[in-house]
Structures are given as C-alpha cells and as structure tokens.
Amino acid sequence: MIKNASLFSPALSLALILLVTLISCSPEPAEPMRGDRDGAESTRGSVHEAARDTPLLASGIEIDNMDISVRPQDNFYRFVNGTWLQETEIPADRARWGSFDELREQSQEHVLEIILELAEEEHKLGSDAQKIGDIFRSFMDTLAIEELGLEPIKTDLARIDALQSHDDLAAFWGYNQRHRFGSPISVFVGVDLMQSDQYITSANQSGLGLPDRDFYLRDDERSQELLAEYRSFIARLWDAAEWGDGEDAADRILELETAIAEKQWTRVQNRDRQATYNKKTLSELVEMAPGFDWVMMLEQAGLGEIEEIVIRQPSYIEALNEMWRDVEMDDWKTYLRYHLIRGLAPNLSSIYADIHFDFYGRVLSGQEEQRSRERRAVSTTESVLGFMVGKKYVDRHYPQEAADRMADMIDNLIIAFDQSIRELEWMSDDTKEEALAKLANFNAKIGFPEVWRDYDCVKIYPDELVGNLRRSSLCEYQRNIGRLGQEVDREEWGMTPQTVNAYYNVALNEIVFPAAILQPPFFNVDADDAVNYGGIGAVIGHEISHGFDDQGRRSDGDGNLRDWWTEDDEEQFQARAQLMIEQYSAFNPIDDMHINGALALGENIADLGGLNVALRAWRNSLDGGESPVIDGFTGEQRFFMGWGQIWRIKFRDEALRRQLVTGPHSPGKYRVLGILSNMPEFYEAFDVQPGDPMYREGDIRVRIW
C-alpha cells in the first residue's frame, strides 16, 4: 500500500522490500476547478445540502470535502475532494499531505503517548519498557548529542583511514554490510523466488546518495540544478566535519557516484522478476567478475559458507568489476567518509542534522520546516523497536470489530476474484486453472503478527543514540543472515501494526493489512458497506491483484517463479498491459514530466483489478437486494466515491517530481481518474457520455481481471 521514506527501517528489511508490493499514495498538484455543464444535474446542489443534515457516518462519504461545482463526469477526483484540495494546506514540516498522512499522524500520536509514558519512568534493564523509553530518551538528549559531536563515528573513521589496498576495501564492504553505508553492493538473505521453501543470499546494486540513478544522468536544466545543489550539500557536510577541502571532496564523490549510476539498472529493469533472478554458484560468480574478491567480501559479511547467490543486476556487477580497482583508494576513502556521515547526520549534532535536512528535506522534498525533535524521536524509536512498540499499540488501539469485518470482506473478495477469473473471455481454461489454484492458495494476515519479533539482541542505553542505532543495525543484520538454512518463517511480518499501509508478498503469496489502516476513510465500521468496499475493499482487491499483475503473474501459488501461461494468453495479457502503459504515460502531472507508465504498470493493474473485484464483491454482498440511497447517492455512486476519497492528497512540487522519477505509484489523482475512465460501471453510475472528460472510447478501455 503506502510507500514512504521509512521503508528501509529495520521493520521492513531490504530482502522483504524486494519481494513485497505496496499500495502507495503519491503526491499530486491542484488544478483549477470546473463548473457544471449547462443543464447538467440541476438537483445536485440540493442533494448536497440535504446531505449536511444526515449523520456523516451513515454513508461514510466525507461530504464537506466535495466540490459540487465540478461535475463527476468532468473530473471525479475534484468532485469528491475539491473543497478539501482548495482549503487544505500542507503542514510546513511535510512534503505532502493526504488521507494516508492524516492517518499516519494519528498513529504517531498514539505511539507518542505510549512512548512518553514509558520514557517518564525507570524500568528494569532489558525490559521492553526500558528499551522503548531509553531509545526515545537517547534521541531527545540534545545536550549529550551536541557535546559528542563526531565522537560516535570516530571508530568507523579510523577503520576507513586504515584501508591500504583495494582488497582491504572489498573486505570493508563485506564487514560493513551490517551498517549499510558506502558500498556499491548490498547483500541480503530472503526467500528464494525459485524455491520458496528456502532462503537464499542475493546481491543488489547500491551506493548512491541521491534516490535514483536518473538524478545523475538526466541533462535537463532542473536536473542539473539539483545536481549542483547536491554537490553543494556534500561540500557543506564535509567542511562542517573539518576534513579539509570540501569542494574538492564533493567533485570526487559526485564523479564516483555518477560512474556508479551509469552502470546501474533502471527502476523499470529492476521490476522484472525474471531478469533480476540470476542464480550463480560462488565459482560462477568469481568467473563472471574475477577482479573482485568475492570470497573475502562474503566471509567478512558473515556469509562465507554460502554456495549460491542470486545476482540481481549481472551487467552492473560485471561493469563494477571492471572499474572499481581503477578508482584511487584515496577517492574510495573520501567516498566512504562521506557516506558514513551522510547516513548518520540526522542523529549527530545539529550542524550535521540541519545540513542534511536542508538538502533532503528542503531541496529534494520541498519541506519548509524540519519535523519536531519529538516526532523524529518517535520515528527513530519505531525504526529500532517497531514491533515492540507495535505490541503495545495493539493492546490499546486494535480495532477488533473492524478486523472481524475485514476478514469477512477478504473472503468475499477472494470469492469475487474467483468468479472474475472464471468469466474471463480472453483467457484459456488451462491458464484459468492455474490462476484459480494460485488464488486458492492466498494467505491473509490482519492486524498484527501472531509471533512477535524478538529484540533480545539489542542493548539500548539512554545516552548512546548512535550506539543504539548501530547495535540495532547489527541485530537486524544477524537476524537476516541467520535465516540461511532455516525453515522459511511464514509468520513474519514486513510492516508493524501501527503502519498505515498494506502489502502483497510474492514469495509467500500473502496479503497483509496492519491494524492502523482499519480506520476511516479506508474502513468505517459505522458506515454502509458500499463506501467500505470502495475503500478498504478495493485496497484488499489491489493486494490480491498484485498476485496477478505483470510481475506477480509470473509466480505460482507456492510463490515460485514459473511460467504457467499459454502463449496466446501471454499475448492477450501483454496487449492489455500495453494499453495501460500508454494511458498512464500520457498523463502530465507537472512541468514536462509524465508518469512512467512502464514503471507504474504493476500498481495500475492492481488498482484496476482491485476496484473491479471489490465492486463485484460488494454487489455479491447485497444478495440480490437493492442498496439504499444515502446522502442522495446510490450504492454504486458511494462505492466509487469511497475509492475517490482515499486518494485525496496534496504535495509540494519537489516531492511530485521526485515521485515521478522514483515511485512505482501514479499520483493520487490519476489513480482515480485513470482507473474509473476504464470502468463502464462508473459510466453507468454517473451517466458519463461521449464528450465528457471522464469518457474513454470502448476500444481503448482496459479490463484485465
């Protein structure tokens, strides 16, 4: 579901990130509102006024957010959210603000209350309460942090300074996998996509300070300005550390990162689960990249006993093999020093934290202010002890009634998806049989894990913020690589219960819905079912559909990569997928930047499939009866309005541009307009006719599932 900046926290390991698919919202710009067309729906105003006298929870539609001066046939997104878009201001400390962010803020408030209570008292050393309270206190102790300066990283600096040769560098990259900085290669352990009952080690491209390779390689004026800002940031951070000539260091670091970026795969390439699965024996890897001491690196990484490894980007590894020894050791050491301080800057004294925010917050994301220290302390606490905090969150805030109804909805969505597969006219019986078998093997997790994560390996002290973070990183790394040779843990969660999000895990063929998302506008226990099916029901359908999107369809019901498609069905699917790529690539959210239809394909397929199957499930739930008119809207209309209102969002221009480069999710507006323009049921519900902006000719509408 939602994709956010904290996904790389210990709560969601790199291994799991590469296997799960999220339903994220992304930022989107406001635009001028349009008035009604002459003679169109003259009663709509009176319906709206009547709705104000009806209790809000009767329908679940947030009436006050609507703009009834906009016809739904013209711009459904603004019809549902227009007043909210016009009146809402993005908080100064945020890059975007929408329904997801509102719930996240509420979740953080609940977590903050818990943490503050624990931080106010002394607790037994090693207890959950002590660890939660002390990690929070260690972040809030600004006096100690300021006095320490760079003292917390002196041991790491000494280790970098001691490097003498490129072989030393390879060993350092292996050793430092536990801390994840300064290495162009990242190794991790995850479920084997070809044999999902076992774990395997994988190697992935890494090593950049900007969010994506394209930030280094685009030659338009705005991209060049951003690169100049990044260079200035490097120099400022370097000079603040008093390490010498920051301008020279910035030039060398930027040159080296650009060389790495030129060799990396694009995000579209990295989506391809078959292309990124390249299993090699250790001897085959050494033969493929003989200039790099893989044996030494893996030994230092604690992976010296492995016999096989999956190389996600073979051409990148081959290119890196050709260049890494040509880079002077002094340049590599400069690069390592920079990435050490860059990664830890938010947790060091204010001079470093402020410089870090100026670039990553203001320049890259458009934030006007940094989040309060208390809020950042909450985020740090959750990043280190997320499930420990989550256990306490569940004790206080778990919506049991919502979870029970959610389970029923999931069952209904699975039945509806089964029906949809059986009725597909374009798919052969052989492929349908495989698809149905996969669907029958889906597993659903709701609320919180049955087995809570063990944090015994983390020692937390109230006056050692960086030390706490380092021990946490080591603990999580050891937990990750310790899975090798073990039975696959099917109880593991990749998100904490207090996370407003959801995901599909392809290797385990499971859908997961944390407790915090079971709230309005996604799910309202007091509302009519229509809006709930349009909200959380479509989210459920979205996650199920990820098992059958352009990448999910490549795995079978056991989570193994396997081609179960006939040749004709493959062609039929690809033709429909190409239409969707073309549709979304035509959307131009800002400047001359368009949505990358190929990058967003999986999420858009999941949105379309999810909303279609949710509509069928809701209709099934009526058992042949009629849905009442509530607040002046029919059940079908409320269903689509439920979808429209969960994607309300505003964001700063910088955040939108970043989203279009890095994010696989279309901005919220297009998740509404793009999907609904493909659904004839929406046309019928709102009388959409040829010539209306929401109308799309029948031969270019997409229907896959």
Across residues 257-277, what is the average pLDDT? Answer: 98
At 453, give phi and psi (nearest 5°). -65, 140
> Could you tell me the two tokens for 188?
């991790």
Same domain? For 318 and 410 the reply is no
**Average pLDDT, rounded, for the chain:** 92
- The last residue of one of the domains, among 331, 347, 363, is 347
> Could you tell me the two tokens for 626?
């009629």
Among 133, 102, 16, which residue's Cα sits nearest to residue 516? 102
Q: Is residue 68 part of a domain?
A: no
Lowest-confidence segment of 7-16, 33-42, 54-63, 320-329 by average pLDDT: 33-42
What SS3 string covers 406-417? HHHHHHHHHHHH
CA atoms of 91 and 618, how far apart (whole Å): 36
What amino acid occupies position 129? Answer: A
Same domain? For 220 and 335 the reply is yes
Class of residue 590 by CB neighbours under 10 A (exposed 0-12, middle 13-18, buried 19+): middle
- The last residue of one of the domains, among 347, 364, 385, is 347
User: Is residue 417 within 8 Å of residue 444, measured between CB atoms?
Assistant: no
CA atoms of 505 and 512, how far apart (whole Å): 8
At 306, give phi and psi (nearest 5°). -70, 150
Same domain? For 568 and 646 the reply is yes
Bridge partner list, 590: 593
Same domain? For 343 and 400 the reply is no
At 590, give phi and psi (nearest 5°). -160, 145
Across residues 139-163, what is the average pLDDT? Answer: 97
pLDDT over 70 at 130, yes or no: yes
pLDDT tens-place string over residues 104-125 = 999 999 999 999 999 998 999 9
Same domain? For 298 and 402 the reply is no
Cβ-count burial 338-372 (b if 16+ within 10 Å, e if not): bbbbbbbbbbbbeebbebbbbbbbbbbbbbeebbe
Q: Is residue 419 part of a domain?
A: yes
CB atoms within 10 A of CB 622: 12
pLDDT over 80 at 2, yes or no: no
pLDDT over 70 at 36, yes or no: no
What amino acid occupies position 669? Answer: K
> Could you tell me the two tokens for 433?
């049989």
How many domains does the structure of the chain reveal? 2
Task: Decide: helix, strand or coil at residue 466.
Answer: helix
Same domain? For 340 and 408 the reply is no
pLDDT over 80 at 541, yes or no: yes
pLDDT over 70 at 45, yes or no: no
Across residues 518-525, what is the average pLDDT? Answer: 92
Q: Is residue 86 part of a domain?
A: no
Across residues 591-615, what is the average pLDDT? Answer: 97
CB atoms within 10 A of CB 392: 20
Across residues 464-493, what is the average pLDDT? Answer: 97
CA atoms of 48 and 68, how far apart (whole Å): 8
Per-residue confidence (pLDDT) for residue 21, from 0 to 100 = 61
At 646, give phi and psi (nearest 5°). -75, -15
Q: Supply the CATH number for residue 233's domain.
A: 1.10.1380.10
Same domain? For 636 and 513 the reply is yes
Across residues 375-404, what is the average pLDDT? Answer: 96
CA atoms of 47 and 313, how far apart (whole Å): 57
Rg (CA), the chain: 26
Q: Is residue 278 part of a domain?
A: yes
pLDDT tens-place string over residues 49-104 = 333 343 444 799 999 999 999 999 999 999 999 999 999 999 999 999 999 999 99
pLDDT tens-place string over residues 15-28 = 544 556 655 443 33
User: Is residue 381 within 8 Å of residue 389, measured between CB atoms?
Assistant: yes
Q: Supply the CATH number for residue 651's domain.
A: 3.40.390.10
CA distances from 639 to 32, 413, 633 (A): 26, 15, 10
Same domain? For 208 and 314 the reply is yes
Q: Is residue 76 part of a domain?
A: no
pLDDT tens-place string over residues 330-364 = 999 999 999 999 999 999 999 999 999 999 999 99
CA atoms of 445 and 406, how far apart (whole Å): 10
Class of residue 668 by CB neighbours under 10 A (exposed 0-12, middle 13-18, buried 19+): buried
Among 285, 596, 562, which residue's Cα sits nearest to residue 434? 562
In eight-state DSSP terms, residue 487 is: P
pLDDT over 60 at 660, yes or no: yes
Across residues 159-170, what is the average pLDDT? Answer: 97
Question: CA angle at residue 176 from 170 to 182, to 5 degrees?
Answer: 75
Q: Is residue 142 part of a domain?
A: no
Task: Decide: helix, strand or coil at residue 200.
Answer: strand
- The last residue of one of the domains, among 347, 381, 411, is 347
Question: CA angle at residue 640 from 634 to 644, to 5 degrees?
Answer: 135
Pairing mode of beta strands 510-514, 443-447? parallel
> Could you tell me the two tokens for 484?
């090798």
> Could you tell me the two tokens for 417?
């998806």
Same domain? For 525 and 668 the reply is yes
Same domain? For 315 and 425 the reply is no
Domain that holds residue 595: 5-32+396-449+493-700
CA distances from 323 to 184, 289, 300, 317, 522 (A): 12, 11, 22, 10, 50
Across residues 629-641, what is the average pLDDT? Answer: 96
CA distances from 406 to 194, 272, 394, 522, 653 (A): 32, 32, 16, 11, 36
Same domain? For 536 and 676 the reply is yes
What percentage of the chain reaches a pLDDT higher than 90?
A: 90
pLDDT tens-place string over residues 544-599 = 999 999 999 999 999 999 999 999 999 999 999 999 999 999 999 999 999 999 99
Q: Is residue 195 part of a domain?
A: yes
Across residues 422-441, what is the average pLDDT? Answer: 97
pLDDT over 50 at 41, yes or no: no
Q: Is residue 233 part of a domain?
A: yes
CA atoms of 570 and 345, how far apart (whole Å): 49
Confidence of residue 133 (pLDDT cuts 50, 70, 90): very high
What CA dihedral angle connects 573, 580, 76 and 71, to 10 degrees? -100
